[in-house]
Structure 1
Amino acid sequence: MPASPSTARALNDRLALRLMQQEGPLTAGQLKQLTGLSRPTVADLVERLTASGLIAVVGEAREQRRGPNARLYGIVADRAHLAALDVRTESVSVTVADLLGRVLAEASVPIGGGTGTGLAVERAVALVERTAEEAGARRLHTVGIGAPGLVDPVSGELRDTTGLPEWHRRLVAAVQARLPQARVIVENETNLAALAEQRAGAARDRDTFVLLWLGHGVGAAVVLDGALRRGASGGTGEIGFLPVPGTGTLPSATDCAGGFHSLAGAEAVLRLAREHGLRVPAAPPAAAGGAARGPLVAGLVRSAATAAAEGTGPAGAGPFLDALADGLALGAASVVAVLDPGCVVLGGEVGQAGGEQLAARVAERIRRMSPLPTEVRPGALGGGAVLRGALLTARDRAQEELFAPPGI
């Protein structure tokens, strides 16, 4: 059945908006060429979108003569403002952007382990409000939040997870209460990192891959045939609990000690560095916790990778990377055996810091353990992938709503 005139107009409008999002400002003639629509149809949709406030004249095309045909139409970027949050165990980072995803302001605040739940939530929410004010955003349309832990695939809410601070779960409700007009979306941090690496990082040419998150802790995100897989309870990728040899014990339902986390988490990397004679700076105080250990471990791995590549530095750099790759390959090979993703991205601060030196070592070990051809790549976005993914998710949701054909 052919679409009704109103439905056809709405679909044409959305197509034009998507093209302006991808290509930037376009003239009516360029829209005609890219959409295949007639000149009168393009003129009508330009008039509708301009009247709705979604697009405006932003300049003139140089190759055109001056006049109506030279007008460049672009999306009105400040039609909606977005916020993205990266919620770590003991810190929060915030980015505020326009509808096109251009960053207008960003900030972060540490939240120590001894901070009470109420005060921690207030600091985080106040940071969002201050950053939005600095960006000139009087109203946030959509807020994307990336957090560790499980997100219920049905309710979309952050589940109560042992080992994570209570303020994480309270934060989502508090943001929604203080910003009642905003759409608030929460997603697992590793899933957001995978989205960012696929859209703007190391996995841009892959529609099937696994991202192995390496930072203070470990995690995994699974993308199959272009779709992020969450599992029945939202727990796909909880690889820290994966039983592996070499830990001397087994993980439990409430503690990943003895699982893959014991071979690949920050404490394990620091231990390996000491065992191989590398100079390890004094561990941060307990109050700094994971917020400081991630960068510390990434710095050690980066220094070792540079030394191994250049043949300089401490003699233990290469053996340290070899030992780290041994542990990482155990978890990665298990995922490869089950999913056959063809590509594993070593993400997070540590994956990016290890670069090609660490990725090549992990790939070599997977080849010895698995008959399935698997490429291993270092992540391109590091720890910033979570915030980038949260912003992409917020932008997609806002554009989906604002660009949606009515009644379809």
Structure 2
Amino acid sequence: MAASPSTARAINDRLALRLLREGPLTAGQLTSLTGLSRPTVADLVDRLQDSGLVRVVGEAGGRRRGPNARLYGIVADRAHLAALDVRTDGVAVVVADLLGTTLAEAASPVGGDTATETAVERVATLLERTVREAGASRLHSVGIGAPGLVDPVTGELRDTSGLPAWHRRLVGALQERLAAAVLVENETNLAALAEARLGAAHGPDTFVLLWLGHGVGAGLVLDGKLRRGASGGAGEIGFLPVPGTSRLPSAVACDGGFHSLAGSGAVSALAERYGVKAVPVAAEPPSAALVRAAVAGRGVAPGEFLDALADRLVLGAAAVSAVLDPGRIVLGGEMGQAGGAALASRTETRLAALSPLRTEVRASALGGAAVLRGALLTAREAAQDALFAGDV
């Protein structure tokens, strides 16, 4: 059955808007990219300008006789977005326009002894202040990255032992306080999305991000889709039983699992054993500075430390490779980025000796910033989908 004229117009408009997300285009370029006729493109450009979603942002080409072709772009300030990276000891905030351009950002610590309501109020106030500094009147969408499990059915952050109570309370409080859509996702999953769009996983539609920060985790992207699992726990690799630990993990604690070998505390202890020292950098796990120092050749035995660390990391990487055959593993988080090619190549060499499946290992391009970038991408896509569908 042929689409009605109104349906066809809506389809054409959304196609053009998807193309304009990547940057300004002329009517001629839209005609070429969409395959639509010139009169059809002229009509849709007029409709999109009348709706306030698109405007003329410049001209294409050098000066010539006659008018230059107009460049059309999405109206970036039609909506504003926010992203939050919620950690156990603080939060980072960024406010951006509809195209994802950062307008303002801020961060604040939240101590472990802070009362739940006090912590929630502190974060909400920080967000509202950052919104004002960005010159935004209101937010359309807010993306939040947090440790812990997100229910794949309800989209809610589950009550997980070991995490501050204010994490779970924050989402509901922001939903009540803001006239905005509030979306929460596991931090490692958001990092995987960011690496796929902007970082070391760009290209393949199947890969695994091995998160190496204060704790460890994995983000699984298979056939172009983020896999969360039946309960939202896919990638909880910190609980993976591995050799080299003194005990097994339990249902309530990952001590004894892969976390005991690759978490920040374990890596810091390993660095001390090899005489690697470094001054910690604010807002990142201490292990990242130690790995960075080893890559730079500082310490009594920096190379041996990196070898020993790769011996640990390959245990998790081999398990992932054997079950999922991802083709590419990205060593993510602050520690993965700090290790760079030196740590990635060591891990890849060891993985090739353990697994018959060809798997390349790359270092993160975004490090700890990937969570915030992924949260902003999530908020941006939600806002664009809503606005471009006419849901203002």
TM-score category by the smaller chain?
Answer: over 0.9
Structure 1 254/67 Cα, relative in aligned 2: closer, same or farther at 3 Å? farther
1:404: how far off?
A: 2.1
Paired residues of 2:239 and 2:257 also in contact (CA < 8 A)? yes
**In the TM superposition, what are the counterparts of 1:68-217 in structure 2 within 5 Å?**
70-179=69-178, 181-217=179-215
Residue number among 371, 384, 387 corresponding to 2:372 in the alignment: 387
RMSD: 1.6
Q: Distance in 1 between matches of 2:175 and 2:66?
A: 46
- Report Cα offsets for 1:129-172 as digits up to 9, x if no partner: 01000001111000000000000000000000010000000000
Instruction: Report the counterpart of residue 339 of structure 1 in structure 2.
Output: 324
Paired residues of 1:82 and 1:142 also in contact (CA < 8 A)? yes
Paired residues of 1:85 and 1:92 also in contact (CA < 8 A)? yes
Partner of 1:133, secondary structure, is helix
Instruction: Report the counterpart of residue 7 of structure 2 in structure 1.
Output: 7
- Are 2:272 and 1:277 equivalent residues in the alignment? no
Partner of 2:25, secondary structure, is coil
- Report Cα offsets for 1:172-219 as digits up to 9, x if no partner: 01111110x201100000000000000000010111000000011101
Q: Distance in 1 between matches of 2:208 and 2:76?
A: 33
1:315: how far off?
A: 3.6
Paired residues of 2:277 and 2:299 also in contact (CA < 8 A)? no
Q: Distance in 1 between matches of 2:322 and 2:186?
A: 24
Q: Distance in 2 between matches of 1:189 and 1:183?
A: 18
Instruction: Report the counterpart of residue 376 of structure 1 in structure 2.
Output: 361
1:18: how far off?
A: 1.3
1:71: how far off?
A: 2.0
Structure 1 182/97 Cα, relative in aligned 2: closer, same or farther at 3 Å? same
Q: Distance in 1 between matches of 2:197 and 2:92?
A: 21
Instruction: Report the counterpart of residue 314 of structure 2 in structure 1.
Output: 329
Paired residues of 1:7 and 1:405 also in contact (CA < 8 A)? no
1:63: how far off?
A: 4.2
Paired residues of 1:85 and 1:93 also in contact (CA < 8 A)? yes
Structure 1 353/154 Cα, relative in aligned 2: closer, same or farther at 3 Å? same
Which residue type is aligned with residue 301 of structure 2? G
1:69: how far off?
A: 6.2
Q: What are structure 2's unaligned runs of at least 5 residues?
A: none
Which residue type is aligned with residue 269 of structure 2? R
Instruction: Report the counterpart of residue 259 of structure 1 in structure 2.
Output: 257
Instruction: Report the counterpart of residue 35 of structure 1 in structure 2.
Output: 34
Which residue type is aligned with residue 6 of structure 1? S
Which residue type is aligned with residue 104 of structure 2? A
Paired residues of 1:121 and 1:174 also in contact (CA < 8 A)? yes
Instruction: Report the counterpart of residue 366 of structure 1 in structure 2.
Output: 351
- Report Cα offsets for 1:214-244 as digits up to 9, x if no partner: 0111010111010000000000000010111
For this pair of structures, how many residues does the alignment match?
391
1:66: how far off?
A: 7.5
Which deviates the most, 90-99 or 359-368? 359-368
Which residue type is aligned with residue 70 of structure 2? R
Q: Distance in 2 between matches of 1:25 and 1:400?
A: 18
Which residue type is aligned with residue 322 of structure 1? D
Which residue type is aligned with residue 151 of structure 1? V
Structure 1 42/279 Cα, relative in aligned 2: closer, same or farther at 3 Å? closer
Identity of aligned residues (%): 71
Q: Could you tell me the TM-score, scaled by structure 2's length? A: 0.97
Q: Distance in 2 between matches of 1:16 and 1:65?
A: 27
Partner of 2:371, secondary structure, is helix
Q: Tell me: higher relative CO, structure 1 or 2? Use CA pairs within 8 A at least 6 residues apart.
A: 1
Paired residues of 2:293 and 2:299 also in contact (CA < 8 A)? no
Q: Distance in 2 between matches of 1:239 and 1:191?
A: 13
Paired residues of 2:227 and 2:234 also in contact (CA < 8 A)? yes
1:29: how far off?
A: 2.1
Q: Could you tell me the TM-score, scaled by structure 1's length? A: 0.93
Paired residues of 1:28 and 1:69 also in contact (CA < 8 A)? no
Q: Distance in 2 between matches of 1:98 and 1:67?
A: 34
Instruction: Report the counterpart of residue 310 of structure 1 in structure 2.
Output: none
Instruction: Report the counterpart of residue 287 of structure 1 in structure 2.
Output: none
Q: Distance in 1 between matches of 2:382 and 2:174?
A: 17
Q: Distance in 2 between matches of 1:49 and 1:340?
A: 44
- Are 2:49 and 1:50 equivalent residues in the alignment? yes
Which residue type is aligned with residue 95 of structure 1? V
- Are 2:302 and 1:303 equivalent residues in the alignment? no
Instruction: Report the counterpart of residue 17 of structure 1 in structure 2.
Output: 17
1:74: how far off?
A: 1.0
Q: Distance in 1 between matches of 2:244 and 2:26?
A: 62
Partner of 1:140, secondary structure, is coil
Structure 1 279/29 Cα, relative in aligned 2: closer, same or farther at 3 Å? closer
Q: Distance in 1 between matches of 2:88 and 2:138?
A: 28
**In the TM superposition, what are the counterparts of 1:348-367 in structure 2 within 5 Å?**
348-367=333-352
- Report Cα offsets for 1:301-334 as digits up to 9, x if no partner: 0110121xxxxx3341011111111111111111
Which residue type is aligned with residue 48 of structure 1? R
Q: Distance in 2 between matches of 1:380 and 1:280?
A: 22
- Report Cα offsets for 1:65-97 as digits up to 9, x if no partner: 587762221110000000000000111000000
Q: Distance in 2 between matches of 1:247 and 1:295?
A: 22
Q: Distance in 1 between matches of 2:216 and 2:79?
A: 35
Partner of 2:143, secondary structure, is strand
